[in-house]
Structure 1
Amino acid sequence: MQNNQTDLYNEIGQILVSSGPEDAKNIIMIANLYPEGDVCEYEFNYISISNQEYEYEPLGRATTDLRKALVKLRQYFIDNNLTNDQPIWTDCMATVDIENSKISIEFKYEPFMNN
């Protein structure tokens, strides 16, 4: 099945919501996807319904499923020439607004995290 960018964003959002804390109103994932696509480092945070920010570890197979979805998203960018003649991104930050069912993903060509 051919995925489009919206489908891939939705897949990432679904994984984050289904594996996140029940009291989350916003989920933030920072990911560093290695160029080979076989390893991804993550940082997971959420904002609770009481507006407190916490770190968390996602449930189940979330990190494996996220890595696979990010590899597909990065390949989509390559296949559709969306790199603007830049090297492909390796880092991204996804923010899911659960209350409004919205996801935004920011791409970086420099790490968000210090490796």
Structure 2
Amino acid sequence: MQDELLYQRIGQIIYSCGPANASELFVKAKLFSATGAGEFEFDYLDDSGEPDWFEPDHLAVADLSEALRELQQHSVESGMPDGTAIWSKCEITVNVAEEKIDIVFQYE
């Protein structure tokens, strides 16, 4: 259940900072382990299917960073096998019309 709440929160953050005419929102995120910092790329498809990028305000980025770190921590607490690396990158897709979120994790 915690996963669902975190996914919902992440989706809401991205949706709320995206352009009004977006049909899909895409975020590539890389979290740095030693600091609270991260690297983000924000793209979208408009309602005509044309790709573009957007730049959210710094508060949205801070909220997204915090939510992703909580998701990382939850992954660890929910039983990652010993020796398994935690994900440090992810690609997030928010389908606006269908109100769906998909997160693909990348491990290093």
Taking structure 1 as reference, are residues 60 and 26 closer, same or farther at Cα in structure 2, changes over 3 Å only? same
Match of 1:32, SS state, is strand
SS in 2 for 1:14: helix
Distance 1:104 1:37, change over 3 A: farther
Per-residue displacement from partner, 1:3-36 (whole Å, max 9, x unpaired)?
7001000000000000100000100000000113
Verify the 8 A CA contact 1:77 1:83 in the aligned structure 2: no
Percentage of identical aligned residues: 34
Q: What TM-score comes out, normalization by structure 1 length?
A: 0.88
What RMSD in Å do the two structures reach over aligned CA positions? 1.6
* Residue 55 in structure 1 maps to residue 53 in structure 2: yes
Cα pair 1:28 1:95 within 8 Å, conserved: yes
Select between 82-91 and 50-59 the one with higher mean Cα deviation: 82-91
Letter of the 1:46 counterpart: Y
Q: Match of 1:35? A: 33
Gaps of 5+ in 1: 111-115
Partner-residue secondary structure (3-state), 2:87: coil
Task: For 1:1-115, list aligned pairs within 5 A.
Answer: 4-59=2-57, 61-82=59-80, 85-110=83-108
Match of 1:113 in 2: none
Aligned residue-pair number: 108
Q: Which moved more, 1:35-44 or 1:99-108?
A: 35-44
Structure 2: unaligned runs, 5 residues or longer? none
Greater share of strand: 2
Q: Tell me which protein shows more helix as a share of its residues.
A: 2
Distance in 2 between residues matched to 1:25 and 1:83, nearest whole Å: 37
Q: How far did 1:86 drift?
A: 1.7
